[in-house]
Amino acid sequence: MTNTIADIEESDVILVTGSNTTENHPVLSTFMKRAVLQGKKLYLIDPRRVKLADHAEKWLRPMPGTDIAWINGLMNVIISEGLQDQKFIDDRCENFEATKAVVEKYTPEHVEKLTGIPADDLRQVARDFANAGAGTICYCMGITQHTCGTDNVKSLANLSMLCGHLGKPGGGVNPLRGQNNVQGACDMGGLPNVLTAYQPVTSDDAREGYEKAWQVKGMSPTPGLVATEMFNKAYEGEMKSLFIIGENPMVSDPDLNHAKKALNNLEFLVVQDIFETETTAMADVVLPSYCWAEKNGTFTNSERRVQRVRRAVEPPEGPKRDWEILCDIANRMGYGFSYEDSHELFKEISAVTPSYRGITWERIDEVGIHWPCPDTEHPGTPILHTMQFTRGKGMFHAIEHVPPAELPDDRYPFILTTGRVLYHYHTGTMTMRTDGLNMLSPECFVEISDADATRLGIGDGEMVNVCSRRGRIKAKLQVSDKAVEGTIFIPFHFANAAANKLTNAELDPTAKIPEFKVCAINIEAAKA
Amino acid sequence: MDTNIITLNENQLTFEPGETILDVAARNNIEIPTLCHLKHTIPTNTCRVCLVEIAGKDELVESCVTKAEPGMVIQSESPKVVAARKEILAAMLATGNHNCAIRDLPTEDWTAFQLNVLAADGKQDLCPVWGDCDLQDLTYRYQVKATGMPVTACKHETERANPFIIRDFSRCILCGKCIKACREIQVNNAIEFGYHGEEMKIIAGDDAHLKDSDCVFCGECVQVCPVGALIPDREFRDDRFKPTKVTRTTCSYCGVGCQMDVFVQDNKIVKIDGADQDLPPNNASLCVKGRYGFDFVASPNRLTTPLIKKDGKQVPATWDEALDLVAEKFEAIGKEHGADAMGLLTSARVTNEDNYMAMKFTRGVLKTNNIDHCARL
């Protein structure tokens, strides 16, 4: 997030898109809902009528996979009515003219045809967002999990820059991180192209610094593969070995039949986890580790705040710390890594990570600090880009709408979109151990509109077969006013009716994120 | 005349225009007791326990809704205030199953009362929040006796129809703090005051069970309830006198990073509460997963030993066997197929320290940049 969570309550207009916030970030949604209580305006732009719609000034419903079109449409209205923050654009941004030229044809009427959003609704949101003293954009996987995910995000950045809503309290472009330490895993260089704090692996200086700090030689200058590519390479036989930590791709990956063949193809699979999962079942070696409540360390939250994690219970006999296991393997391979505890590791992290340099465990003992924090006197940076953007000028990107990789046809007439429910988390490895959560959300369901259910002649609670070009699952139909005709939602938590057997593994070319939010499916009544 | 100053119990205190007497007192660590006040919500003077006496005024006023004014001279523990407060507390004690031995009934009535309450609870214990109840604390502090007040039976049955929250209306003092938590903090709008007079009750929806209402079991109401009306549906309360260790940590679910206090007895998590009301990012709020989804930690199904696949079947192995095999295999595959034939998926679930080491291992030891994690999924 460019801004803080608390900052959301300071916004005059909150634009939420591709986020079922009350279910996936319940506590963060309280900031949005309280802002509405204080008279601020919230607009929800989402294919489903999720709970947040109850709190919204208006819910705008785009066809899944048409985000660039409505964002360009908002910009079209703002520019044609002269509501843009021209000073911000002139002083702090570049490439505006090219973007302006592209959005020219995205008139509200044209956008209505592409997205289904009524032209006047689009105008209303555009005017309110542009006229707001501070307007924030909060988005989640509904924006990113598309073959055009990167362009969707860039479009939101365009919109925010256009209105001058960046670099100030109550503004910003704010991705909501879905897992406790996604931010930290990225910051720590758990990505194929960057070291810690996003230093590129292609930089000789950066690698040299690390080789010196770590006393190793021969680090690779070639960016590696993202997870989905590793699976493809395994499928093709080029990838021979994978080491998977705390993740269950056999439920969370797209096109699971493909993923399964990929893992089966490996010569050697190591999985490190706290429970047996669908993925550990395929491993050559399974390594048990400590869980969250047994660890000392840090997580970095969605707003870039580095916070302490503390051991609350003593670990059971047998498992080890995740980092300790890796150290032990490294040392068996001839290295001499040695750390007394997690704290010593954090000191090394601070030393090699510019944005974490000023953060110490002592400083974050009571309250976490937002990176970048370059030195120990620095208070941290709650709001990014206040004076200038990281790259200097904010770059406008001229982006055209492109349709999703797979659209409905006669054989697969429905659009499937996937996500989570309030009571479960990802593949359920943790939440499904709490009976109460299972009672409140016991099984998979196929969320459908009343109109579609009626047309199919299948009633609420009846079992249906759902199939796509890639797979088939069986689950209970749930007629819901969250669903809009033509679009089906299935949560991906449940291994026994895994939505990801259906999803499409087509990737965004830049971020390599799969298109979980749109694929084509068919639904039929299941025979008893 | 120096304007924005009040005198509270002989202390000269400055105030900001708009601040209530209770706000000024709280800011200066002077405790004025209250049962219904909840920080960050609109004060409603429902419980009336926060009464104070202002010099020159005949009527006592509720400090939670009375704005500080220049020159006010205020007493929060004067004989008149204490007498009124005792009466209010006595009335609360008299209208519920407050069987914590402070009810002060004649012996024979006490026994009958106690037996009735135990029957209603289905338990052989005193009130489940004995020792952790604001009403009990105040009753002791002011030595309140509800002598002479009749025993009234609760008209509403205790609700146990959901997995997380017990609603015991017999111990509810109708302070409305839970409603503030639900409607002004979490804004789930699930509960409100229902019925009138002696029938009054906190209702969900159309007086439905929580599970059939808009309730999302965030548990904020349980966390703020000053008495035993809202309690977690767990055995914890039966063991409330066991030594408890409390650890401040960060939630392990979504990316909000809520700060939480984990209560542990006998090395087992028994309760999780949100941390301080002024501590970001969550200001003491939590959601259903963060508050109640901790059973996995003590699950008997945790992996506790390394496993090695032998003849297609995973069998237990020692750490030495497992780690030797991994090291050996990685060296062999690296030699035969090159470093880029190997890859590592680190995790958005583990700590920065764990992720950093995974990165160091992949880049420094395996010598490949094939590292990624589940952020995209």
Please tell me the distance in Å from B68's CA to the nearest CA on chain A: 24
The answer to whether A180 touches B328, Cβ cutoff 8 Å, is no
Among A422, A425, A428, A426, which residue's Cα sits nearest to residue A440?
A422
For residue B162, give the chain A residue with the closest CA: A436
Among A114, A118, A20, A8, which residue's Cα sits nearest to residue A60?
A118
From start to end of B23-97, where are the E strands? Answer: 51-54, 61-62, 73-75
pLDDT for B377 equals: 78
Q: Distance between CA B244 and CA B145 in Å, rounded?
A: 32
Q: Distance between CA A208 and CA A462 in Å, rounded?
A: 61
Interchain pair A293, B251: CB under 8 A: no
pLDDT for A116 equals: 98
Q: What Å distances lie between residue A116 and A155, A432, B71, CA to CA? A: 19, 38, 63
The answer to whether A167 touches A384, Cβ cutoff 8 Å, is yes
Nearest CB partner across the interface for B357, out of A181, A307, A326: A326
The answer to whether A35 touches A467, Cβ cutoff 8 Å, is no
For residue B336, give the chain A residue with the closest CA: A240
Angle at A411 between CA A407 and CA A412, to 5 degrees: 45
Tell me the two tokens of residue A445: 């369901």
Disruptive mutation site among B357, B362, B366 for chain A (greatest number of A CBs within 10 Å): B357
Interchain pair B356, A303: CB under 8 A: no
- The burial class, CB within 10 Å (0-12 / 13-18 / 19+), for B238 is exposed
Contacts of B160 in chain A (CB under 8 A): none
Spans of chain B, pLDDT less than 70:
1-2, 101-104, 234-239
pLDDT for B235 equals: 55
Q: Distance between CA A483 and CA A276 in Å, rounded?
A: 34
Helices B79-94 + B134-141 axis angle, to 10: 130
How does DSSP assign A130-190, residue by residue? HHSSSEEEEE-HHHHSSTTHHHHHHHHHHHHHHTT-SSSTT--EEEPPSSTTHHHHHHTT-
Tell me the two tokens of residue A93: 């941004």
First-to-last alpha carbon distance for chain A, in angstroms, is: 48
The answer to whether A210 touches A45, Cβ cutoff 8 Å, is no
pLDDT for B2 equals: 59
Return the bridge partners of B315, or none. Answer: B308
Q: Which of residues 229-268 of B touch A (CB under 8 A)?
A: 233, 245, 247-259, 262, 264, 267-268
Nearest CB partner across the interface for A216, out of B346, B347, B364: B364
Disruptive mutation site among B217, B236, B305, B345 for chain A (greatest number of A CBs within 10 Å): B345
Interchain pair A309, B249: CB under 8 A: yes
Cis status of the peptide bond prior to B281, with omega within 30 of 0: yes
Please tell me the distance in Å from B77's CA to the nearest CA on chain A: 34
Interchain pair B280, A5: CB under 8 A: yes
B149 touching A, CB under 8 A?
Answer: no
3-state secondary structure A190-239: CCCCECHHHCECCCHHHHHHHHHHHCCCCCCCCCCCCHHHHHHHHHHCCC
CB pairs under 8 A between A and B: 458
B360 touching A, CB under 8 A?
Answer: yes
pLDDT for B102 equals: 61
Q: Distance between CA B107 and CA B122 in Å, rounded?
A: 22
Instruction: Give the residue ranges of DSSP H helices in B40-155.
Output: 79-94, 107-121, 134-141
For residue A230, give the chain B residue with the closest CA: B343
Q: Distance between CA B186 and CA B215 in Å, rounded?
A: 11
B301 touching A, CB under 8 A?
Answer: yes
Cis status of the peptide bond prior to A509, with omega within 30 of 0: no
Contacts of B374 in chain A (CB under 8 A): 179, 227, 247, 249, 252
Interchain pair B248, A310: CB under 8 A: yes
DSSP letter (8 states) at residue A69: H
For residue B214, give the chain A residue with the closest CA: A51
Contacts of B372 in chain A (CB under 8 A): 190-192, 224-227, 230
Domains of chain B: 5-77 (3.10.20.740), 88-241 (3.30.70.20), 242-302 (2.20.25.90), 307-376 (no CATH)
Contacts of A321 in chain B (CB under 8 A): 354
> CA B344 from chain center: how many Å?
39
Please tell me the distance in Å from B189's CA to the nearest CA on chain A: 11
DSSP letter (8 states) at residue B171: G
Beta strands B201-204 and B191-194: pairing type?
antiparallel
Among B82, B92, B85, which residue's Cα sits nearest to residue B228?
B92
pLDDT for B198 equals: 87
Q: Distance between CA B24 and CA B26 in Å, rounded?
A: 6
Return the bridge partners of B131, or none. Answer: none
Q: Distance between CA B363 and CA B344 in Å, rounded?
A: 10
Q: Distance between CA A166 and CA A88 in Å, rounded?
A: 9
Contacts of A325 in chain B (CB under 8 A): 323
Interchain pair B365, A180: CB under 8 A: no
Nearest CB partner across the interface for A307, out of B257, B340, B357: B257
Interchain pair A437, B330: CB under 8 A: no
Q: What is the ipTM of this complex?
A: 0.97
Q: What Å distances lie between residue A274 and A326, A498, B322, CA to CA? A: 15, 21, 16
Please tell me the distance in Å from A162's CA to the nearest CA on chain B: 28
Spans of chain A, pLDDT less than 50:
none
pLDDT for B103 equals: 63
Interchain pair A230, B370: CB under 8 A: yes
Return the bridge partners of B40, or none. Answer: none
B223 touching A, CB under 8 A?
Answer: no
Domains of chain A: 6-176 (3.40.228.10), 182-370 (3.40.50.740), 414-525 (2.40.40.20)
How does DSSP assign A412-444, residue by residue? S-EEEEEE--TT--TTSTTGGGSHHHHHHS-S-
Please tell me the distance in Å from B194's CA to the nearest CA on chain A: 22
pLDDT for B231 equals: 92
Contacts of A425 in chain B (CB under 8 A): 253-254, 289, 293
For residue A251, give the chain B residue with the closest CA: B377
B306 touching A, CB under 8 A?
Answer: yes
Please tell me the distance in Å from B286's CA to the nearest CA on chain A: 6
Interchain pair A293, B268: CB under 8 A: no
Interchain pair B369, A24: CB under 8 A: no
Alpha-carbon radius of gyration of chain A:
24
Contacts of B309 in chain A (CB under 8 A): 283-285
For residue A254, give the chain B residue with the closest CA: B377
Interchain pair B187, A55: CB under 8 A: yes
